Chain A
């Protein structure tokens, strides 16, 4: 099997279409960032409190909202997430509600508001910690344990917590279920001190405003350093114009990816930034493969026009470009479809970024080289030679080694 054998597509001839395509997406993204959704910072960068809750039955958004209102929490974000059958809801409070003195105040308010029919003096088993259970058993001593009480009750508490979290996904609906996991006497003793609410807190994220600002600065710095690193490496390995072309291309990819998050109003979290930095590296891969071939062909085909050489190089590497992009895309798609809710933003960024990154190494990076060349020859300067010279030296060295 082989795709794109002897491909001969005039990519450079279509550069105006490419430019139009890229402009439409970049401008749409920029427009959304500036005038519509803005840059949708997640809690990592904005600060605030997010509580991820799993319910036993299908949650009623209005009831949750009413409970939050009663607790005095304003501007609460309530959003379903994950598979519908998971009954999962994200409850968020923005930064204004969270100062650093009472960083976990909102969390406690949210959880208390959800405990609508909690009996007096009983703890909620679905949200009880391992330690709370162990302490309770040690006090009640349902097994009449002797000197090894500490270990025995620790094991019982662990078994109950494991059953709740690993087998039942976090929410128990009746105490009797536990008889499968723990000693019946221990389970019976739970009656006096515990009740079952209809939800469990799965995940809590609280970020103070100071950290949010700090992280925002760092994310920006990391992106800038990454781009600068690429520019320097490519300028050293090839020629400065190759570095510039690659960095412009990657910047274009980053802009469109962030733009897609803004257009779809998806939150940008720390892991999304990680995905974007990965894309900066990945998108460069494709560009480098094409550039490497251009450099090689510049040496072999000294008589031909640069635009022909570039076209030929793109066509020669097309099979590889599409194949690897396709394979990486396949793995990323698996991540997007099966990787779970936590990685949703991360894999979304990769899905978009790999498509754009592959497109741009053909449609943006190579035409920049040719445009630069045209501009030089219009000013009466000699065509690009430095790159081919550099390569021929190194080429000989490689051959000598072989």
Chain B
């Protein structure tokens, strides 16, 4: 018995040491301040305590689908031309909600097999179905469609992470928000003014260099008039970037731009903020080998023509091609210093595959976080003291037993937070407090049962034995129900609420160990030291 008790005590002391290490690690100094700092290093505080910004973004995945199906339409047109198949029109019947659907109308009936082979060979991700009046529907296959949408979200997460990393925000969380469709959760600790970060994240940063065929025009109508009402083939009108500090005329301007682009942001190797010949902030970029070759070919054959730098479908700048350019270029135009820096940064991080919009924004100022910590800790200490004192008064010496178990319970819980890197939120602190309240339930169950057994005339050792074995089943049942609730909370909750679910469930797991195992060992130790038949102090 004695030997048995020995190793059990060893287990308890080892647990205590391990989880104490979890809370404070090895502090630099053992003074009060040093210990506080050590705890701060080990236990991560949630946004609601530390201050910061929490955002939920919706990735507009249909943007990515639109780009893909636009390309598919271009390919179809080229191939139909190559096969000399005539058609009345190629359209998307519902470009907003179902951009993956393309309808071809007015094809000659005998072109069926040609069309089938074009779609199979050239557009393997699309399927072909026939409709009424010689019309055909080309639509992306469901599997490919969902892959494309998922890829858009993954890419958006990566791009946003690249951008945020460069802003120097420490420990950001950027992940898919499992609760909604195609949503991203972004948490930025310490960022209490999210405006600039939001702009940077939201910028799609689609850079393209295209040929400029004409402009600027004062309006779309004016542009059409200049071209006799019809746009030349394979061109489109694009608005100019009219916001700028130094541009004198801030009215709208329109340009006639080629549909095809010579190079895009994907061909960039790097982008840096720089200054143009007038000392104005600008962004210079370098192209990759492949992009450089294409750019060289394009500029070589268009010397004397205009090129347009297009950013997010707005013409940023138009310049004359004086000579062949290979792999470097400069984007000029009306930037502030910070704007040029940010633009270079978003260009480096790559384009977002789809637009994003904000669904939710929560900002906690650091002053509120500080107050919340103070209030939470005060409530925790008062609640805990009340319970500890009550147990002492009500159960006498056995109360010490319960109090030791409770304190160990808390140490294990906090140590777990330190080891696992789980964040402590304000509701999480509430979870710690509740763990104290609910954890003591196990002790009460056991002690009341022991008292009952003692009253029915059992000796102290057998009463303790019976008390623990009877209460054990009840304790398991009660813990399971609470933990089931907490797990459901964890699955459905976010941020602060998850923190609560984590502390509550782990606190109750730890309670199984402390209230049942530790408490039992202490009872056995006390009984061991007593004379046979001596009474047990349990109030």
Contacts and interface: CB of A to CB of B under 8 A. Distances in A.
Chains A and B form a bound pair = yes
A233 B484 contact: yes
B444 interface: yes
A29 to B, nearest CB: 21
Contacts of A206: 360-362
B488 A342 contact: no
Given A211-B359, A282-B482, A292 B539 contact: no
B488 A225 contact: yes
Interface in B376-399: 376, 378-380, 382-384, 386-387, 390, 393-394
A203 B179 contact: no
B86 interface: no
Contacts of B80: none
A219 B495 CA distance: 15
A289 B474 contact: yes
Contacts of A229: 484-485, 488
Contact of A289 (B478, B483, B489, B501): B478
B367 A164 contact: yes
Contacts of A323: 394, 444, 448
Interface in B447-474: 448, 451-452, 465, 469-470, 473-474
A166 to B, nearest CB: 5
A328 B539 contact: no
A285 B477 CA distance: 8
A226 B490 CA distance: 12
Contacts, number: 250
Interface of B is mostly: helix
B170 to A, nearest CB: 12
Nearest to A278: B485
Contacts of B366: 161-162, 165-166
Contact of A343 (B191, B376, B482): B376
Nearest to B394: A1
A43 B441 CA distance: 35
Interface stretch (B114-122, B263-271, B430-438): B430-438
Contacts of A164: 367
A398 B484 contact: no
A239 to B, nearest CB: 14
B368 to A, nearest CB: 4
B383 A335 contact: yes
B430 A339 contact: yes
A377 interface: no
B489 A339 contact: no
A40 interface: no
B433 A335 contact: yes
B445 interface: yes
Given A211-B56, A327-B437, A202 B448 contact: no
Given A165-B367, A211-B359, A335 B430 contact: yes
B45 interface: no
B501 A274 contact: yes
B497 interface: yes
Contacts of A337: 379
A234 B477 CA distance: 9
Contacts of B376: 339-340, 343
A278 B486 contact: yes
Given A165-B366, A335-B433, A278 B440 contact: no
A324 B441 contact: yes
A330 B539 contact: no
A218 B437 contact: no
A151 to B, nearest CB: 12
Contacts of A89: none
A165 B370 contact: yes
Contacts of B539: 1-2
Interface stretch (A11-19, A127-135, A185-193, A380-388): A127-135
B109 interface: no
Contacts of B436: 331
Interface in B342-392: 357-368, 370-372, 374-376, 378-380, 382-384, 386-387, 390
Nearest to A171: B367
Contacts of A97: none
A281 interface: yes
Contacts of A101: 357
Contacts of A214: 179-180
Contacts of B491: 222
A257 interface: no
Interface string A203-226: 111111011001000110110011
A107 to B, nearest CB: 8
Name the 8 nearest CB pairs between A and B, nearest first: A340-B375, A170-B367, A129-B193, A281-B485, A334-B383, A328-B437, A281-B482, A331-B383
29 contacts: A2-B451, A52-B368, A101-B357, A170-B367, A200-B367, A201-B365, A202-B367, A205-B362, A218-B179, A218-B492, A221-B492, A222-B489, A230-B481, A273-B497, A278-B482, A278-B486, A285-B438, A285-B441, A320-B444, A323-B444, A327-B387, A327-B390, A327-B437, A331-B384, A334-B382, A335-B430, A340-B379, A343-B375, A343-B379
Interface of B: 48, 51, 56, 58, 179-180, 190-193, 195-196, 198, 357-368, 370-372, 374-376, 378-380, 382-384, 386-387, 390, 393-394, 426-427, 430, 433-434, 436-438, 440-441, 444-445, 448, 451-452, 465, 469-470, 473-474, 477-478, 480-486, 488-489, 491-494, 496-497, 500-501, 504, 539
Interface of A: 1-2, 52, 54, 100-101, 103-104, 128-132, 161-162, 164-166, 169-170, 200-208, 210-211, 214, 218-219, 221-222, 225-226, 229-230, 233-234, 237, 270-271, 273-274, 277-278, 280-282, 284-285, 288-289, 292, 296, 316-317, 319-320, 323-324, 327-335, 337-343, 346-347, 350, 394, 398, 402
